[in-house]
Chain A
Amino acid sequence: DTAVSQTPKYLVTQMGNDKSIKCEQNLGHDTMYWYKQDSKKFLKIMFSYNNKELIINETVPNRFSPKSPDKAHLNLHINSLELGDSAVYFCASSQRGGANYGYTFGSGTRLTVV
């Protein structure tokens, strides 16, 4: 069973479109995250979210919005896609509501904006 699953694995779309990436974890973890990995492999935190608090990295454009219907799901919605949004997006989860425990990452979604 996949612990953290993301869909879709690949996403090619045109500039200006709106798209969503879905993430689900079956580990019973309290906290979920979205990271962006650019072409230089740099992993940058976008959001962390548990059932009490959403923390947004202030450098993330407000075109990006996380949506969590329940503790096991954290989706990422992106409005008005731009060329610079092309990257691999990783979802991750950790236990006990904090970053002081190891993450389990999803397999990533490669987003290409053309």
Chain B
Amino acid sequence: GENVEQHPSTLSVQEGDSAVIKCTYSDSASNYFPWYKQELGKRPQLIIDIRSNVGEKKDQRIAVTLNKTAKHFSLHITETQPEDSAVYFCAAPVKGTALIFGKGTTLSVSS
């Protein structure tokens, strides 16, 4: 079936470094790619999203890039801070009915 693969599953960086999380999707009809951040014990929250008519979108220290030909999209976090530590999920819609989520990346930022 349709799925979304996410890598890496864990990522440890030093404060101030950059972090990159990558996802691939299988449904070529997908045209919306959100990223969610989930802190421990909290709900997932939308942090940035991109639609298929653009290749890159930035919001302060976070950015998302999309390569529709290769069916890849990535989250980039620059100048990481300890409060960026969380689980990050990519997602893509399947047949327009619901978002399918990647398995998550646990990001740890050490000071």
Contacts and interface: CB of A to CB of B under 8 A. Distances in A.
B46 A99 contact: no
Given A43-B89, A101-B32, A106 B43 contact: yes
Given A40-B103, A41-B87, A41-B104, A99 B97 contact: yes
Contact of B98 (A41, A42, A45, A105): A45
Does more than half of chain A's interface fall in helix, strand or loop, or is it mixed? loop
B100 to A, nearest CB: 7
Given A43-B44, A105-B44, A108-B43, A100 B98 contact: no
B89 A48 contact: no
Q: What's the interface size class on A, roughly?
A: 20 to 34
Contacts of B97: 48, 55, 98-99
Nearest to A53: B97
Interface of A: 33, 35, 40-45, 48, 55, 90, 98-108
A99 B44 CA distance: 16
A22 B104 CA distance: 26
Nearest to A34: B98
Given A41-B104, A44-B101, 8 more contacts: A40-B103, A41-B103, A99-B99, A100-B93, A100-B96, A103-B34, A103-B99, A108-B43
B96 A45 contact: no
Nearest to B92: A99
Contacts of A101: 32
A21 to B, nearest CB: 14
A45 B92 CA distance: 12
A48 B100 CA distance: 12
28 contacts: A33-B98, A35-B101, A41-B87, A41-B104, A41-B106, A42-B104, A43-B101, A45-B99, A45-B100, A48-B97, A55-B98, A90-B43, A90-B44, A98-B93, A98-B96, A98-B97, A99-B32, A99-B96, A100-B93, A100-B96, A102-B46, A102-B49, A103-B36, A103-B44, A105-B44, A105-B45, A107-B42, A108-B43
